Chain A
Amino acid sequence: EIVMTQSPATLSVSPGERVTLSCRASQSVRSSLAWYQQKPGQAPRLVIYGASTRATGTPARFSGSGSGTEFTLTISSLQSEDFAVYYCQQYSDWPKTFGQGTKVEIK
């Protein structure tokens, strides 16, 4: 099983700041990496797929990068609606595994 490790667990940031979330895979997943956003009481929402492609409706302030085992999700200027938990997920191999999540909270 491919283990996905996200860091940090929590980020305390102010609106307007730039944020970078990290995700590491225990073995190469090529570019088969997705990011999801989850707000309290809601289902996850796809943000990025293919490591760097924004999903439909994802604002341009979100960007993803990386391949192989190291990935990042960057939010260039954090907006109030971006405070949430973000999960990375590899879909290169079974089982499809998620990271433990990074909570982006208001400072």
Chain B
Amino acid sequence: GAVVSQHPSWVICKSGTSVKIECRSLDFQATTMFWYRQFPKQSLMLMATSNEGSKATYEQGVEKDKFLINHASLTLSTLTVTSAHPEDSSFYICSARGPSGGAVDTQYFGPGTRLTVL
């Protein structure tokens, strides 16, 4: 199946620093990528939808100036958590919509990035 990678897989940073997370579709072009956040024992919450070459669409309650998304190419989207604080500590997962075609398209998830802000 389609493969999506994320980097880094985990990161620990000090409060106030910025952290960039990369999401890559390795064997297909993804015009749309999604960024999710998952707190312990909770479900994935969609943060934003990232479309190649255009501005991301943020979900209600997600600060676009804090979570900067750049989808510069068909295989790469980045999420930058600016001025991270301990409450931003979470599991961040990206997904890419799979190759077009078929009756039902699917999303392929990256392995996630565990962010811990001290």
A binds B: no
B-binding residues in A (CB < 8 A): none
A-binding residues in B (CB < 8 A): none
